[in-house]
Amino acid sequence: MKEEQILKNYESAKAIYRDFGVDADKALEKYKNMRISLHCWQGDDIRGFEEKVVASENVVTGNYPGAARNPQELRADIEQVLKNSPVRHKVNLHSVYAEPKKPTSREELDVTAFENWIEWAKKNKVGLDYNGSFFAHEMMDNGLSVTSQKKEVRDFWIRHLETTREIAYNMGKSLNDVCVNNIWFPDGLKDNPADRRYWRELLKDSLDKGLKKKYDKKHLIDTLEAKVFGIGTECFVAGSYDFYLPYCIKNGVGICLDTGHFHPTESVADKLSSLSLFFDDILLHVSRGVRWDSDHVTVCDDTTNAIMVEANRAGIMDKLHIALDYFDASINRIFAWTVGLRCAARSMLAALLEPVDMLKKAERADDFGLRLALTEEAKALPVNAVWDMACLQAGAGVGYDWIKDVQNYSEKVIARR
């Protein structure tokens, strides 16, 4: 799109927003400092760089050609994705993306295995977040890690948790930033357990051990991620939301909400106002649950929009850690990545542009009719004109231009792999 057109559209959008008491310039200013953490694992279907790749508890389907085969390709692909997004970024890594100088067992890795990532992050002016990889490993005991009945298995994964936190802390320190270390265990059972409490006692005990060491929160924030069920854990997941919510509050750990990890009619957006009263740290895994699958590409749907709107209305937009988490191997991965990132980013901007002052004022005045009228009118405000302006200012592709850019990269780079 022509620059002149973008500027013209923005000016008229600004006037419309003004009528609703919204200053689009101010929203854009605020927006420029917002960050989204891009998950590296969409680029290679969570394979990682370990020599030995075993079946994973994270089920990824599809075999679209051109997945990144090594760190260089993955980083190049991430750069391509980031350049079409107008916000600031972090990149979210997993242990399996380590590049140790000499072969090292996963639970014994240290931050030196991430030197390339750290250098790259500095060069690209992005932060880093981290995750231990409690899956796809021969020490998984029939889908169980920290809740295995075998002490040696639990000890192995507790050790992994400890070294993971050390790595994350050092990553944060090297970048003079905060690194969010998210902890997710697939542990659960296919069929009904006889003793649910027993498995949860194991989980609690392992977590107490792995989280014992305290770190400066300036550089490390731990979060725990629950799931209602998974493939192979249909009847029971040890780390349920009811487990982690009290655990995190009691132990001062942050909580991670993945939009695909709840009952389909349960609203993650509705949780934010409550959680923010009791938590310092909330991590979002913005994803898209489809029936029983939790990891479709994020889109601008009601769920994504509602999350951003609630975050803004609750005044916690700056406080939230917003990350993406999906993996679709059935379509061009660069499209999958970029669409999800741009959709999360656009929903975020739309939330900042909501006439929130007017809405709250109507509500306080008990004028719920006005609140409804404003809500519905707000849905059709010209967000896209402001979004295009944000993209223009950040040098990200506007309108159809980013699609052509991805097609070009796909032809020149992806198709040649």
Catalytic residue positions?
Answer: 184, 225, 227, 258, 261, 285, 293, 295, 325
Site string for ligand RNT, 206-235 (x = CB under 6 A): -------------------x-x--------
Residue 386 contacts which entry, Zn ion, ligand RNT, none (Cβ below 5-8 A, type-dependent):
none
- Using the minimum distance from each CB to ligand RNT, give the nearer residue, 131 or 347: 131
> Is the CB of 45 or the CB of 388 nearer to ligand RNT?
45
By CB under 6 A, the residues from 236 to 275 that bind ligand RNT are 258
Is 158 in contact with 184 (CB distance < 8 Å)?
A: no
Min separation Cβ 394 and Zn ion, Å: 27
With CB under 5 to 8 Å by kind, the binding choice for 128 among ligand RNT, Zn ion, none is none
Q: Which of residues 42-61 bind ligand RNT (CB under 6 A)?
A: 46, 58
Judged by beta carbon, residue 48 or residue 397, the one nearer ligand RNT is: 48
- Sole window of 122-130, 265-273, 324-332, 406-414 interacting with Zn ion (rule: CB under 5 A): 324-332
Among 117, 184, 241, 409, binds ligand RNT (CB under 6 A): 184
| Partner interacting with residue 169 (select from ligand RNT, Zn ion, none; CB below 5-8 Å by kind) | none
CA distances from 269 to 6, 262, 272, 276 (A): 32, 12, 6, 12
Please count the CA atoms within 13 angstroms of the CA of 34 that sit on its side-chain side.
28
Under the criterion CB under 6 A, does residue 41 sit at the interface with ligand RNT? yes
Contact of 255 with 281, CB cutoff 8 Å: yes
Contact of residue 294 among Zn ion, ligand RNT, none (CB under 5-8 Å per partner type)? ligand RNT
Question: Which among 105, 214, 115 is positioned nearest to 165, based on CA atoms?
Answer: 214
Alpha-carbon gap, residue 325 to 212, rounded angstroms: 27
Q: Which partner from the list ligand RNT, Zn ion, none does 238 bind, CB cut-off 5 to 8 Å by kind? A: none
Cβ nearer to ligand RNT, comparing 82 with 257? 257
Question: Is 294 a residue that touches ligand RNT (CB under 6 A)?
Answer: yes
Residue 46 interface partner, choices Zn ion, ligand RNT, none, CB cut-off 5-8 Å depending on type:
ligand RNT
Helix 24-31 and helix 383-394, axial crossing angle in degrees, nearest 10:
50
Query: Does 342 engage in binding with Zn ion (CB under 5 A)?
Result: no
Cβ closest to ligand RNT, residue 107 vs residue 388: 107
d(CA 147, CA 157): 9
Q: Single out the residue of 139, 142, 114, 141 nearest to residue 129, CA to CA.
A: 114
Site residues for Zn ion, window 251-280 (CB under 5 A)? 258
333: partner contacted, choices ligand RNT, Zn ion, none (Cβ within 5-8 A by kind): none
| 299-302: Cβ within 8 A, 24+ apart | 299/339, 299/340, 299/343, 300/343, 300/346, 300/347
- Which of positions 325-364 make contact with ligand RNT (CB under 6 A)? 325
Near Zn ion by CB under 5 A: residue from 107, 325, 328, 388: 325
Entry field: residues in the chain: 417
In angstroms, rounded to a whole number, what is the distance separating the alpha carbons of residues 361 and 149? 56
Interaction with ligand RNT in 121-140: which residues (CB under 6 A)? 131
Q: Are 82 and 124 in contact (CB under 8 A)?
A: yes
Q: Per-residue contact track with Zn ion, 21 to 60, x per CB under 5 A? A: ----------------------------------------
Q: Count the helix, strand and coil residues of the chain and give each as a percent rounded to the nearest 5.
A: 50, 15, 40
**Candidate list 160, 285, 342, 346; residue touching Zn ion; CB under 5 A:** 285
**CA dist., res. 193 & res. 229, Å (int):** 14
Q: Smaller CB distance to ligand RNT: residue 240 or 312?
A: 240
46-80 burial code (b ≥16 CB/10 A, e <16) = bbbbbeeeeebbbebeeeeebbbeebebbbebbeb
Q: Which residue is nearest to ligand RNT (CB)?
A: 184
Nearest in space to 260 (alpha carbons), one of 234, 210, 297, 233? 297
Size of the site for ligand RNT (CB under 6 A): 11
Burial class (CB in 10 A: 0-12, 13-18, 19+), 314: middle
- Contacted entry of ligand RNT, Zn ion, none for residue 240, CB cut-off 5 to 8 Å set by kind: none
- 27's CB contacts (< 8 A; 6+ apart) are 349, 352, 353, 386
Q: Which 8-state DSSP code applies to residue 141?
A: B
Please calculate the CA angle 20-31-290 and round it to the nearest 5 degrees: 90
Kindly list the residues in this chain that would bind Zn ion in the complex (CB under 5 A): 258, 285, 325
Query: Where does this chain bind ligand RNT (CB under 6 A)?
Result: 41, 46, 58, 131, 184, 225, 227, 258, 285, 294, 325
